[in-house]
Amino acid sequence: MAKFVFVTGGVVSALGKGIASASLGNLLKARGLNVILQKFDPYLNVDPGTMSPFQHGEVFVLEDGAECDLDLGHYERFTDTNLNQDNNLTAGRVYETILARERKGEYLGRTVQVIPHVTDEIKRRIQLSAQQNPDVDVVITEIGGTVGDIEGQPFLEAIRQFRLEQPVEDTASVHLTLVPYIDAAGEIKTKPTQHSVRELRSIGIQPDFLVCRAKEPIGDDARRKIALFCNLPADHVFDAKDAESIYEVPLNLHQQGLDAVVCERLGLETQAPDVSEWEKMVQVLLNPPERVRIAIVGKYIELKDAYKSIIESFIHAGIPNHAAVEQVWVDSESLEGEEVGERKMAEMFADCHGILVPGGFGDRGIQGKVNAIRFARENGIPFLGICLGLQCALIEIGRDVVGLEMAGSAEFDASTPHPVIHLMDSQKGIANLGGTMRLGAYPCEVKKGSLAADLYGQIEISERHRHRYEVNNAYRARFEEAGVVFSGLSPDGNLVEIVEYPDHPFFLAVQFHPELKSRPRRAHPLFRGLVAAALQRQSRQAETAAG
């Protein structure tokens, strides 16, 4: 029988419930337990797929094509486990399911209400992962938002009911709160945590454990005070002080014994956890002998969470290269306009040893991406393009190398004389935007002897996708005549997945999203290769400067 842990948050949002949940999953897995994590979001969108990156941050895509909250990326990275669409639930999907049943008459004329119908559906989804995975030991469910939010009430009520219906030893509640430090008073304040727990208890949920976010360790006096007023033992109050890296968080919580008391609460007898490999990884991460700078030329750089998996992938790639990757954020719109010449481009990328152009949608900032790619190609700067980055790379090469004047994408310009990028056949005639792109993992065959084959170390790979437009096959021969290598294709040869440009230290672009499969102890080959090439460029520049 599976055990269930519920993670809630209070006081303010963005405290790091996802990191706390992922860290607990990491520690329980280190104890030999089979762990599944899931995220329940109270918003009414069916999924985040149609939401702006400025609103929601990155949309994380799973193997089965589910478009999910970015916290599922943390879950996969911290536990090295592939999740599926059943691991993310929104209020929108709950209501969509219930209303579909109501239209079919499945409620037999009854009035459909939040209680019991909405809460019953939420409880069913809590159990679903355990039912589909009979070997699972612990299901960790994170509830999005903050206790007190009106939209989150049905989810918290469902948890209250669920815990009441299960044996006492089969469920546990972890509540994450903020313990602020007031500079003027020179002390931390526990009252926000007390109020948050009081709000949770008023709903009928007594937390078993508190994880207190703070700039510094909260200290024994504050811990005892919090425990007293929140009605739980002092050794069930843990501090989650600010860490230099999120990958330190599991180790910090383990040192305080969180995983041990959670297992005790759930009646789980486990092996002693082995966190030695994680500790070694964190040590390399925190003490890199080298540093390298890579520019990310994006459209959503005002909100870094829009590129969360890319940020983490660079951290992962730095570990085997024994280097810290400093990300230089460049707004692609700043690279547009007549005043942006070669001199200004050189100034903007002067201290960068590599350039990455990530994915995105819409025509805003496209010319800036194209200009950055041209600068990387002409100046031998290691370059990696992802999704839209591949499409912009072919637009640039089409215009400046192949001789296709005004080459473009049908997404941005329906009247372009040379649509080197066009709408996929499977996407034509689709009206609804949600969940209709080419989504999830697809196989790819890599050309022997190519840079991609060298990086992957194999010629059959699988990567995750999220796109509607593709390379126009009508132009493939023209590009190949100009030296472009289509080094990765779908098994039937119809879809271009990887593009390389010859006579360049590192110029590679992919239609898929490699960042979605990177792990801290298993850096993605393409990011690892880009960082290695950037380090080589940095070394050559240093040798040249030294004379």
- In percent, the amount of the chain with pLDDT more than 90 equals 83
Higher pLDDT, residue 175 or 304: 175
CATH (domain of 111):
3.40.50.300
One domain, residues 368 and 437: yes
Tens digit of pLDDT for each residue in 108-128? 889 999 999 999 999 999 999
Residue 61 belongs to some domain of the structure: yes
Residue 287 belongs to some domain of the structure: no
Report residue 434's pLDDT band, with 50, 70 and 90 as the boundaries. low
One domain, residues 205 and 325: no
One domain, residues 303 and 417: yes
**Are the C-beta atoms of residues 217 and 241 closer than 8 Å to each other?**
yes
One domain, residues 322 and 441: yes
Residue 268 belongs to some domain of the structure: yes
CA distance 398 to 420: 8
CA distance 294 to 153: 44
Last residue of a domain, one of 280, 304, 324: 280
One domain, residues 334 and 203: no
Residue 286 belongs to some domain of the structure: no
Tens digit of pLDDT for each residue in 189-230? 999 999 999 999 999 999 999 999 998 888 899 999 999 999
Residue 112 belongs to some domain of the structure: yes
Full residue range of the structural domain in which residue 15 is found: 3-280
Question: Could you tell me the pTM of the whole model?
Answer: 0.94
Tens digit of pLDDT for each residue in 5-42? 999 999 888 899 999 999 999 999 999 999 999 999 99
Is 543 one of the catalytic residues?
Answer: no
Report residue 66's pLDDT band, with 50, 70 and 90 as the boundaries. very high
Mean pLDDT on 494-501: 97
Tens digit of pLDDT for each residue in 357-400? 999 888 888 999 999 999 999 999 999 999 999 999 999 999 99
Q: Is the pLDDT of residue 428 over 80?
A: no
Residue 215 belongs to some domain of the structure: yes
Tokens 């590192």, located at residue = 506
Q: What pLDDT is stored for residue 311 in this prediction?
A: 97
- Return mean pLDDT, the chain: 93
User: Could you write out the DSSP letters of every residue in 210-254?
Assistant: EEEEESS---HHHHHHHHHHHTS-GGGEEEEE--SSGGGHHHHHH
CATH (domain of 400):
3.40.50.880
Tens digit of pLDDT for each residue in 239-296? 999 999 999 999 999 999 999 999 999 999 998 899 999 999 999 999 999 999 999 9
One domain, residues 52 and 104: yes
One domain, residues 275 and 301: no
Q: What pLDDT is stored for residue 437 in this prediction?
A: 81
One domain, residues 165 and 297: no
Residue 108 belongs to some domain of the structure: yes
Catalytic residue among 68, 352, 387, 444: 387
Is 515 one of the catalytic residues?
Answer: yes
Of 197, 113, 121, 196, the residue nearest 158 (C-alpha):
121
Supply 504's token pair.
Answer: 């360049």
One domain, residues 306 and 275: no
One domain, residues 263 and 361: no
Tens digit of pLDDT for each residue in 437-469? 889 999 999 999 999 999 999 999 999 999 989
Last residue of a domain, one of 217, 250, 280: 280
Sign, Cα dihedral of 469, 470, 473, 477:
positive
Q: What pLDDT is stored for residue 52 in this prediction?
A: 82
Q: What pLDDT is stored for residue 506 in this prediction?
A: 98
One domain, residues 258 and 391: no
Domain count, the chain: 2
Last residue of a domain, one of 221, 251, 280: 280
Q: What pLDDT is stored for residue 50 in this prediction?
A: 83
One domain, residues 474 and 391: yes
Is 444 one of the catalytic residues?
Answer: no
Residue 285 belongs to some domain of the structure: no
